[in-house]
Homo-oligomer: A and B are copies of this chain.
Amino acid sequence: MTPLHDELRDRFGDRYSTAAAVRDHHGKDDSHHPAIPPDGVIFAESTEEVAFSVRACARHGTPVIPFGAGTSIEGHVQAVRGGISIDLGAMNRVLAVRADDLDATVEAGVTRQQLDRELRGTGLFFPVDPGADATLGGMAATGASGTTTVRYGTMRDNVVSLTAVLANGEVVRTASRARKSSAGYDLTRLLVGSEGTLGVITELTVRLHPVPEAMAAAVCAFPGLAEAVRSVVESVQLGIPVARAELLDATAMHAVNLYSGFSYAETPTVFFEFHGSEDEVRAHGAVVEEISRGLGGAAFEYARRQDERARLWKARHDAYPAILALRPGCHGLTSDVCVPVSRLAECIEETRDDMERATIPWGIVGHVGDGNFHAVFMIDPDDEAELAEAEAFNERIVRRAIAMEGTCTGEHGIGMGKIRFLEEEFGASGVAAMRAVKAALDPQGIMNPGKVAGVEPEKGLGTKLHERFKPYGGVELEIPPREPMRDPPTFD
């Protein structure tokens, strides 16, 4: 690595670091997956610098791992074969906000909360909302979504165009700024969700939406999980354009009450939100409340003022740390399946019935309108038996979802954690096609190796803590023990 280290130090000076603390920080995300630090970290400031870095790594056959905010949770940033992490956090300029075209162009390191702030006063907003204050580049790379997907779609639907550096160091612009195009292969959607394995996203043009005239949130408690799920599914089936519809089970409600100072009923609950004109918000809320009452739901508790709504959605976004706080010192292992909405109630109920046998505590939250839910297991990071138990539940959840025509991951991505399910979901021919695309665009295999369609580096990678891995080059590397948890992560 020495010649590459020297080359990067010459080019980037202080902005290239091999310090242990910096490397450690870039070798882990907000998940239970073990940290695997890269050999060095570049703090890039432009697309050109990223291109320089990729070209240098390509010359040396050294892996390249893009790093945004480190909020992913399937082991996306771990340097399983060593290599260089490219931190895009300093590429945080909003390059253009075009109100007339309802779009904005940003550097990849802009976070969603930063974009929110910069859009204040424009009458526009960016809807994709994964909870964590992720970078937009990371959100695109992960194919993220969140609470508003039922109305506004995922990153796939809200990215107009990307600028990315490919494995050969070339810069591509994946699309024009036109709202639609049928020109050529859809490189934009090929890169969205590719998790750095096909290229490093350095800039994005995203869709903006007009801030609705009126917005109202409503909380509704239900007698059971199935009724809560059905209230949303029936509303969606009727064509009511709910803007958000978030399920929290009794455990999650208990956690939210403790963590955020609410006193909601601790039964399965849906947090709704409605967007539109005053009349539309009132009308949509009334229809959904009627559906909910028919299923045993309580009267809607409305939050209409901006500060009330913000407090409510902050509580929802804090559900993950709130759940983890129920068991001090625990780590989260989180499932992320998504099934056709007609199967969701059944899928959640079977999952709950299965989990009632668990020896470790758990809670459930879900983006019900999309058919997506998360079971969060609160595991002791030092107890391999707990990890194994949670992994076994997660595996059954994935198999159940796939059997119901669903996906192993609705929004968290594949990373290292879900590679072993890819073939179950897509069959051997689908995975072979993905690997052919990967090999074509990254013939050296240097782009975030061991993720997505990459060969799972070792059996059980990401399933055991403090494990030994063979880094790139075949030298044994001692994986450092996991650090104490940083500030509680937030996600949905």
**Contact: A193 with B187, CB < 8 Å?**
no
A194-B185, A210-B237, A280-B280 as given contacts; A407 in contact with B178, CB under 8 Å: yes
Assess whether A34 is interfacial by the CB under 8 Å rule.
no
Q: Which of A237-272 contact B (CB under 8 A)?
A: 237-239
Q: Which of B184, B233, B342, B425 contacts A176 (CB 8 A)?
A: B425
Interface centre among A142, A190, A279, A280 (most CB of B within 10 A): A190
CB distance from A139 to the nearest CB of B (A): 10
A237 to chain B, nearest CB (A): 6
Stretch in A79-87, A216-224, A310-318, A433-441 touching the partner:
A433-441
Chain B residue, CB-CB nearest to A238: B210
**Does B166 contact A433, Cβ atoms closer than 8 Å?**
yes
CB distance from A378 to the nearest CB of B (A): 24
The proximity string for A residues 386-413 relative to B, scoring 1 for CB distances below 8 Å and 0 otherwise, is 0000000000000001100111111111
Identify which of B187, B279, B425, B430 contacts A430 (C-beta below 8 A). Answer: B187
Cα distance, A151 to B8, chains bound together (Å):
48
Q: How many copies does the complex hold?
A: 2
Instruction: Choose among B143, B183, B194, B277 the residue that contacts A422 (Cβ–Cβ < 8 A).
Output: B183
Q: Are A439 and B437 in contact (CB under 8 A)?
A: no
Q: Categorize the interface residue count of chain A.
A: 35 or more
Check A2 for interface membership: any CB of B closer than 8 A.
no
Since A183-B409, A187-B430 are in contact, a sample of 10 more A-B pairs with Cβ atoms closer than 8 Å, ordered by chain A residue number, is A98-B342, A166-B429, A170-B432, A176-B405, A178-B338, A180-B372, A183-B418, A185-B198, A185-B453, A440-B440
A144 to B421, CA, bound (A): 32
CA distance in complex: A412, B432 (Å): 30
In the complex, are the beta carbons of B210 and A174 less than 8 A apart?
no
- The answer to whether the Cβ of A186 comes within 8 Å of any Cβ in the partner chain is yes
Given contacts A236-B102, A277-B283, A426-B172, contact A433 B178 (CB under 8 A): no
Q: Is A181 an interface residue (CB 8 A)?
A: yes
Residue from the list B178, B189, B209 in contact with A239, Cβ < 8 A:
B209
* A149 close to chain B: CB less than 8 A: yes
CA gap between A206 and B475 in the complex, in Å: 49
